[in-house]
Structure 1
Amino acid sequence: MFPKGGMGKMMKQAQELQAKMAKAQGELGDIHVEANSGGGMVKVSANGNKEITSVKINPEVLEEDIDLLEDLVLAATNQALIKASEAAEDKMQSITGGLMGNFKIPGM
């Protein structure tokens, strides 16, 4: 079924890939993305672990309607999380070399 040593070689490659992916997951916290809404009135930063790391609100927007501010924060937060997801996916794709196709790793 497998050439001599083929199964062992395949297992070794799988272990190496697993180690590379674990390392990449550890590096996701080093990826930083930023999104804004309202022409930069609200800025939200996130890391590759999809954690919001900062929210900056221009004081001028505080003079506006609270509903507008809430919408701007929500829009910027969602955009930051999308960017973080894309950055994390790119990082993992660089490790797997596209070997996994459309397979998604849970939590990634």
Structure 2
Amino acid sequence: MRDIMGMMGKVKEMQAKMERMQEEIAALTVDGTSGGGLVTVTLDGKGNMKRLKIDPSLFKEDDAEILEDLIVAAHADAKGKAEAITAEKTRELTAGLPIPPGMKLPF
């Protein structure tokens, strides 16, 4: 019976840590850049775009397609960084737990 009570305590502790981690991730802001810094996208921890900065030199009619590609690339860069931070925080939180490989947390 003690083992079950100890396990329940660990579960509650893990839940509290998971909630704190989710709050930290939601509060993150991550910048992604492309074109050597000509385009910068800022995302929050949930992947929502919060800001888009475009160097004025890109505002030419001929360069519209290039600008579109740079925006997509900057967004992908920021999203990749946010996902890497989330994965690292999750690894730190779940260190030592028998979680199957490839299982994504937080749910």
**TM exceeding 0.5:** yes
1:81 paired to 2:79: yes
Shift of 1:104: 0.9
Partners of 1:51 and 1:98 in 2: CA distance: 31
Q: Is the 8 A contact 1:46 1:81 kept in 2?
A: yes
Shift of 1:62: 0.9
1:68 to 52, 63, 66: 66
Aligned to 1:39: 36
Aligned to 1:92: 90
Partners of 2:46 and 2:89 in 1: CA distance: 12
Partners of 2:20 and 2:106 in 1: CA distance: 16
In structure 1, list runs of 5 or more residues that go unmatched. Answer: none
Aligned to 2:105: 105
Q: Comparing both structures, which one devotes a greater share of its residues to helix? A: 2
Matched-pair identity in %: 35
Partners of 1:73 and 1:79 in 2: CA distance: 10
Moved over 4 A (4+): none
In structure 2, list runs of 5 or more residues that go unmatched. Answer: none
Say which is worse superposed, 34-43 or 86-95, in terms of deviation. Answer: 86-95
AA aligned opposite 1:104: K
TM-score normalised by structure 2 residue count = 0.85
Equivalence map 1:1-12=2 (5 Å): 4-12=1-9
Aligned to 2:19: 22
Q: Is the 8 A contact 1:48 1:87 kept in 2?
A: no
Shift of 1:34: 1.1
Q: CA RMSD in A?
A: 1.7
